[in-house]
Amino acid sequence: MSRMIHVFERTNHEAHEWVNDLAGRTGWTNEREVLRLLRSVLCTIRDHLPVNEMAQFSAQLPLILRGMFFEGWQPKNTTVHERHLAEFIATIEETISEVLDYRGEADIAAVFKTINAHISRGEVEDVRACFPQELREFWPAP
């Protein structure tokens, strides 16, 4: 049983590392809102990926974040192909618009930088390659 508890502790720690990293990049102090931003961007990324790439990307997320990544996912409503940067941002803003600290593109870019810091370079490049050019340019190369 202690081995199982260790798994929970480790994934909890890893998820906190992501949240703390993003909080430092955004300057936000409310961890719940930081997590909400992270989840919103991750789920918007998810909806742009083919299933195989989504699975490979999610495999590198901490278990807790992976659960959030798939929570509410409806395969029949994805994959999104036609979106532009403005639509990508608007999708995220629908879920975090009332967050007082939200600064738009700068905070979304902070999420991308956090992902770059925690996911392998090759996987980030694979995910970015699935996006339209406009979105690839917005997401900085790792």
Q: What is the CATH number for 64?
A: 1.10.490.110
| Full residue range of the structural domain in which residue 29 is found | 2-138
Q: Cα–Cα distance between 30 and 27 in angstroms, integer?
A: 9
Q: Is the pLDDT of residue 79 over 70?
A: no
pLDDT of 2 over the 90 cut: no
Residue 78, preceding peptide bond in cis (omega within 30° of 0): no
| Residue at token pair 């929970």 | 8
CA distance 24 to 87: 26
Percentage, residues of the chain above pLDDT 90: 73
Instruction: Give this prediction's pTM.
Output: 0.91
Calculate the average pLDDT of the chain.
Answer: 91
pLDDT band at 6 (very low <50, low <70, confident <90, very high): confident
For the residues 15-21, what does the mean pLDDT come to? 97
Confidence of residue 67 (pLDDT cuts 50, 70, 90): very high
Total domain count, the chain: 1
**Dihedral angle computed from the Cα positions of residues 92, 98, 104 and 106, in that order, rounded to the nearest 10 degrees:** -100
Q: How far apart are CA 15 and CA 109, in angstroms?
A: 19
Band (pLDDT 50/70/90 cuts) for residue 138 is: very high
State the DSSP H helix or E strand holding residue 133, giving kind and residue range, or none if neither. helix 133-138
Quick check: 15 and 7 in contact, CB under 8 A? no
What's the pLDDT at 48?
87
